[in-house]
Chains A and B, each alone.
Chain A
Amino acid sequence: MPEIIKIIQPKEKFHWRDITELWKFRELLYFFAWRDIKVRYKQTIVGIGWVIFQPFISMVVFTVFFGNFAKMPTDGAPYPIFVFIGLLFWQFFSTAVSDISICLINNHHIISKVYFPRIILPISIIFTRLIDLFVATGILIILMIYYRFMPGLTGFLIFPVLILISSMAALGLGLFFASLNVKYHDIRFVLPFFIQLMMFVTPVVYSSSILGQYSWIMAFNPIGGVIKTARSEFLHSFATNWTQLGLSVLACVAMFVVGWMYFRVTEKASVDTL
């Protein structure tokens, strides 16, 4: 008989088993993502249309006010395309962070009844939100065709890398807030405000070039670095600053490590305190 031996004891320090274990739970990961997608489309009347509607309307509003009236510099591209590249990553990042931050609370009824590596939940949220991102990418391509704008093809090459960076950053920040949420139940009321503030320090509606010589600061905001790189590659209006992208990668790895470590500390206590 093939022996499966499970030893339950006080949680020790990090072990590689924690990572290999995730592979065993890949089907659960898939089902959590599947559940969230199904439920989202069943609950809203607009259903799948919501995924298209939300970034599209944001783009229209921003174009009218920031593009037409405020006349923001756009690094030479039509404002709708310019702002949409920013929105694409920003909406993915912000929705993933806010979903992840409440995932332990929302799934408390499952966490308190069954064992699985808790990090499966946040990771499944990343996948759910990636689907929105892909739909929004489709809109971006349609916009480019509509404006007869020929994007830099290297943009599509670097796109997966940028998605990876944003996913890691969202996971890191989300895990951090999820852990805080377990400890302090009022975090979730502050978070929407914090995320909104973050949008203003991220070059979503404006170009990072308006910061002039200080634009390197943006590199420490991983999602800002991602948007900046995506624009430079797609709009080919200025050369990508690889050093700054490297800094963004470092910042996102740091965010991920800190968030994940904090999550590991709190996840074992989460059932007892929530």
Chain B
Amino acid sequence: MSIISIQNLSKRYLIRHDIGGYAGLRERLAHPIKSFQYRMKNKPEEFWALNDISFDIEKGDVVGIIGKNGSGKSTLLKVLSQITPPTRGKAILRGKSASLLEVGTGFHPELSGRENIYLSGVILGMTRKEVSEKFDEIVAFSGIEQFLDTPVKYYSSGMGVRLGFAVAAHLDTDILIIDEVLAVGDAEFQKKCLGKMDDISKKQGRTILFVSHDIDAVKNICNKGICMKSGTIARSGDIDNVVDYYLNNKDN
């Protein structure tokens, strides 16, 4: 059975054009009739960010999702992460899943590195016990031992990214959903992260969904690929085929 099966998934966004482009109760109360007429005349515009998408992902696959900006990649990840509900269709995830849509999710600048490791870990779905068990590993991976008790607001952006990724890399889940988080951080650390992701999928047999614009990175670590185009799947299958398709069709 596929670990992820997605059936006819669609997501619609309604784009409202409110008076002044700003939704205020003041406008509604001050001009109730005008505002009502306006809303009746200007029906919100529909935008299908995902349009009837279906595919299956097998256990242990590392799937790279590529496509131009606005093709629906991030919306797909948001729906699979349960951040926003789909409008139609469904997705079935068989296993524990975690999403990494941002490095350092839930970090609070006033709290220390140590405190943020716990906070971010728990927000990403770990239990407190799991964080404690992996604490030393996380710290070692991030390489910020000396600054563990410094508030994160004094960290350089690179240090923040390191710590954030270190927490996320130790998530113990069957499915990991990752948005372009590697676009940040220096080349050396990027390599380390890619290595870690490779490690996770190969040795531990986890399934990874990975969105990136970095074609080389995608080619390196993914074995399957999905190329998206205006909310639909343009091509899916082996990563090399999909990347070739993407590069050939990039300009139109």
Pair A110/B105 contact, Cβ less than 8 Å: yes
**For residue A187, which residue of chain B has the nearest CB?**
B25
Cβ-based interface call for A71 (8 A): no
A271 to B75, CA, bound (A): 12
Pair A35/B111 contact, Cβ less than 8 Å: yes
Pair A8/B85 contact, Cβ less than 8 Å: yes
Number of residues on chain B facing chain A (CB within 8 A): 46
List residues of A (96-121) whose CB comes within 8 Å of B's CBs. 109-116
Instruction: Name B91's contact: one of A4, A7, A184 (CB within 8 Å).
Output: A7
Instruction: Name B90's contact: one of A3, A9, A115, A183 (CB within 8 Å).
Output: A9
Cβ-based interface call for A11 (8 A): yes
Pair A113/B101 contact, Cβ less than 8 Å: yes
Give chain A's interface residue range (CB within 8 Å of chain B): 35 or more
Indicate the member of B123, B124, B127 with the most A CB atoms within 10 Å. Answer: B123
List residues of B (48-98) whose CB comes within 8 Å of A's CBs. 78-97
Pair A271/B84 contact, Cβ less than 8 Å: yes
Pair B22/A115 contact, Cβ less than 8 Å: no
**For residue A110, which residue of chain B has the nearest CB?**
B106
Cβ-based interface call for A39 (8 A): yes
Instruction: Name B99's contact: one of A9, A10, A113, A268 (CB within 8 Å).
Output: A113
Pair B24/A113 contact, Cβ less than 8 Å: no
Q: Type the 1/0 row for A4-37, where 1 means its CB is closer than 8 Å to any CB of B.
A: 1111111100000000000000011001000100
Cβ-based interface call for B119 (8 A): yes
Cβ-based interface call for B198 (8 A): no
The interface residues of chain B lying within 8 Å CB-to-CB of A196 are none
Pair A184/B124 contact, Cβ less than 8 Å: no
Cβ-based interface call for A148 (8 A): no
The interface residues of chain B lying within 8 Å CB-to-CB of A186 are 24-26
Cβ-based interface call for B154 (8 A): no
A190 to B25, CA, bound (A): 10
Pair A114/B118 contact, Cβ less than 8 Å: no
**For residue B105, which residue of chain A has the nearest CB?**
A113
List residues of B (159-198) whose CB comes within 8 Å of A's CBs. 174
| With contact pairs A35-B108, A113-B99, A184-B28 given, residues A6 and B93 touching in the complex (Cβ less than 8 Å) | yes
Pair A5/B92 contact, Cβ less than 8 Å: yes
Pair A116/B94 contact, Cβ less than 8 Å: no
Q: B111 to nearest A CB, angstroms?
A: 6
A42 to B99, CA, bound (A): 30
A47 to B127, CA, bound (A): 29
| With contact pairs A31-B122, A115-B99 given, residues A185 and B80 touching in the complex (Cβ less than 8 Å) | no
The interface residues of chain A lying within 8 Å CB-to-CB of B140 are none
- For this complex, 6 residue pairs linking A to B, each with C-beta atoms less than 8 Å apart, are A4-B174, A11-B85, A39-B108, A109-B102, A110-B106, A113-B105
Closest 9 CB pairs of A and B: A184-B25, A115-B82, A9-B90, A6-B93, A8-B91, A186-B24, A113-B101, A31-B122, A11-B85
19 more contacts with CB within 8 A, not counting A39-B108, A116-B123, are A4-B174, A6-B93, A6-B97, A7-B90, A7-B91, A8-B82, A10-B86, A11-B85, A27-B127, A27-B128, A31-B128, A38-B111, A110-B106, A114-B105, A115-B82, A185-B22, A185-B23, A186-B26, A268-B84
